[in-house]
Amino acid sequence: MLRRAAAAARSRRPPRRATAEPSRIPAPQLPTVTATPVAKPIYLTLTPPLKSSSTDPSHTSNLVLLDPTVFDHPIRRDILHLCVTHYRDALRQGSANTKTRGERSGTGRKPFRQKGGGVARAGDLRSPIQHGGGVAFGPKPRDFSTKLPRKVIQMGMRVALSLKVRERLLGVMASMDWPNGKTKHLSQKIDALGLRRTLFVTGESPPVGLERAMRNIPLTKLTTLDQLTIYDVLKWQRVVLDVKAIDVIEQTLGKDVPIAPVALKT
């Protein structure tokens, strides 16, 4: 009875008045201002040249300015993986070939009767389960190369060069002139500069003497810019480019982003 009385009393209560929400004044919309991105410049100390007497009057300073859109790109390991896989897939020959049962030589006669022999039935001796028969689902000549967008490959080169700059394993030379083709003198010069295990990249046709002298030096390689790959940049411990190669790379891979002026400390 008490429960019924309490329920009846609750049912006779007047409904609560709904309070009106206060009116909200919309905030004024301010005009959006888009700031132009400004990249910070990168200065790198020039590596001493191979030929001590060679001087370039256009590069009197020992610092070189690098384009930050090329040499200060965010590190993307996924892009490097795609580019390396793309390069290594193109190296595969894909010439493995096996013969199927239709390509094996031999008779097509049934080796024994269908029933009564106590063994499994066999149609011919060229079956994959027979000794000397064909191969089931064996490899055939194919093309393992894969496709990759051009912009992804360009980004991979930016990332690879930026990684070398961050690890301080990228050098720039004013020139790569060498007077003769003697391997002994060039090897001593490379050891004196500490450039063993280095990939030298030039933006022009390499001198005949330098190419001949560096051909027999172990753990050292000379290549041109048109033959440079992302795999080579990542494979070699140190990469040294000349100023002409830097100019071509920045013209090809650079972006139109203003560079903030920075005062050099004297």
Tokens 């990228």 correspond to 170
Contacts of 221 (CB under 8 A, 6+ apart): 199, 200, 214, 236
- pLDDT per residue as tens digits for the range 87-131: 999 999 999 999 999 999 988 899 999 999 999 999 999 999 999
pLDDT band at 256 (very low <50, low <70, confident <90, very high): confident
What is the rounded CA–CA span in Å between residue 116 and residue 107? 22
In this predicted structure, what is the pLDDT of residue 62?
87
Judge whether 142 lies within some domain. Answer: no
Judge whether 182 lies within some domain. Answer: yes
| Contact by Cβ (8 Å): 43, 264 | yes
Domain that holds residue 84: 42-51+61-91+147-253
What is the rounded CA–CA span in Å between residue 241 and residue 215? 18
Is the predicted pLDDT of residue 199 greater than 90, yes or no? yes
Judge whether 176 lies within some domain. Answer: yes
Judge whether 81 lies within some domain. Answer: yes
- The residue among 216, 222, 186, 242 whose CA lies nearest residue 50 is 186
Judge whether 225 lies within some domain. Answer: yes
Q: What is the distance of C-alpha 262 from the center of its chain?
A: 31
In this predicted structure, what is the pLDDT of residue 255?
84
- The residue among 248, 109, 241 whose CA lies nearest residue 173 is 241
In this predicted structure, what is the pLDDT of residue 250?
94
In this predicted structure, what is the pLDDT of residue 266?
38
Question: Torsion angle of alpha carbons 101, 104, 108, 111, nearest 10°?
Answer: -80
* pLDDT, average across residues 28-41: 62
Tokens encoding 199: 């990939």
In this predicted structure, what is the pLDDT of residue 264?
46
| Contact by Cβ (8 Å): 83, 230 | yes
pLDDT band at 16 (very low <50, low <70, confident <90, very high): low
Judge whether 127 lies within some domain. Answer: no
Which residues, listed in sequence order, are joined to residue 79 by a DSSP beta bridge? none
Burial of 233 (0-12, 13-18, 19+ CB in 10 A): buried
Domain count, the chain: 1
In this predicted structure, what is the pLDDT of residue 20?
53
Tell me the three state secondary structure of residue 250: helix
In this predicted structure, what is the pLDDT of residue 27?
61
pLDDT band at 193 (very low <50, low <70, confident <90, very high): very high
Contacts of 234 (CB under 8 A, 6+ apart): 80, 84, 160, 163
In this predicted structure, what is the pLDDT of residue 53?
56
In this predicted structure, what is the pLDDT of residue 107?
87
In this predicted structure, what is the pLDDT of residue 206?
87
* pLDDT, average across residues 206-221: 91
- pLDDT per residue as tens digits for the range 50-85: 887 544 555 556 889 999 999 999 999 999 999 999
Angle made by CA atoms 48, 173, 201, in degrees to the nearest 5: 130
Judge whether 46 lies within some domain. Answer: yes
Judge whether 200 lies within some domain. Answer: yes
In this predicted structure, what is the pLDDT of residue 85?
97
Supply the CATH number for residue 230's domain.
Answer: 3.40.1370.10
Give the mean pLDDT of the chain: 85
